[in-house]
Amino acid sequence: MQLTAVNKMPTAFSRTNPFQAKVHKNVNLNGTGSSKETRHIELSLNSSGLSYVPGDALGIIPQNDPELVASLLEEMEWDEETPVTINKEGDTLPLKEALTTRFEITLLTKKILQQTVELTENEELRKLLLVENANQLKEYTYGRDLLDMLRDFGPWNASAEKIVSLLRKLTPRLYSIASSIAANPEEVHLTIGAVRYTAHGRERKGVCSVLVAERLQEGDTLPVFIQPNKHFHLPESGDKDIIMVGPGTGIAPFRSFIQERAVTKTTGRSWLFFGDQHAALDFLYQDELEQYQKDGILTRLETAFSRDTEQKVYVQHRMLENSKELFGWLKNGAYFYVCGDKQYMAKDVHNALISVIEKEGTMTREEAEAYLNEMREQGRYQRDVY
Ligand SMILES: Cc1cc2nc3c(=O)[nH]c(=O)nc-3n(C[C@H](O)[C@H](O)[C@H](O)COP(=O)(O)OP(=O)(O)OC[C@H]3O[C@@H](n4cnc5c(N)ncnc54)[C@H](O)[C@@H]3O)c2cc1C
Rounded Cα gap, residues 34 and 29, in angstroms: 10
Phi, psi of 377 (to 5 degrees): -65, -30
Atom index in ligand 1 nearest the CA of residue 211 equals: 26
The string of pLDDT tens digits covering residues 28-41 is 999 999 999 999 99
Kindly state the DSSP code that residue 322 receives in the 8-state scheme. Answer: T
Q: Whose CA is nearest to atom 4 of ligand 1?
A: 175
Query: Is 66-165 assigned to CATH 1.20.990.10?
Result: yes
Given 3.40.50.80, 1.10.730.10, 1.10.10.10, 3.40.50.300, which CATH number is that of 242-385? Answer: 3.40.50.80
Atom index in ligand 1 nearest the CA of residue 190 equals: 8
Distance from Cα 267 to the centre of ligand 1, integer Å: 36
Radius of gyration of the chain (CA): 24
The response to whether residue 176 sits with its C-beta less than 6 Å from ligand 1 reads: yes
Q: Which fold is adopted by the domain 19-62+172-227? A: Elongation Factor Tu (Ef-tu); domain 3 (2.40.30)
The string of pLDDT tens digits covering residues 98-137 is 999 999 999 999 999 999 999 999 999 999 999 999 999 9
The response to whether residue 206 sits with its C-beta less than 6 Å from ligand 1 reads: yes
Cα–chain-centroid distance for residue 10? 31
Which pLDDT band holds residue 11 (cuts at 50, 70, 90)? low
The response to whether residue 385 sits with its C-beta less than 6 Å from ligand 1 reads: no
Atom index in ligand 1 nearest the CA of residue 175 equals: 5
Answer for the pair 54, 246: CB distance below 8 angstroms, yes or no. no
- Cβ–Cβ contacts within 10 Å for residue 195, how many? 15
| C-alpha closest to that of 187 among 288, 257, 256 | 256
Q: How many residues does the chain have?
A: 386
Cα–chain-centroid distance for residue 343? 13
- pTM over the 0.85 mark: yes
**Domain limits, the chain:** 19-62+172-227, 66-165, 242-385
> Pocket of ligand 1, candidates 63, 173, 205, 210: which has the most ligand atoms within 8 Å of its Cβ, to mutate?
173
The response to whether residue 209 sits with its C-beta less than 6 Å from ligand 1 reads: yes
What pLDDT sits at residue 263? 97
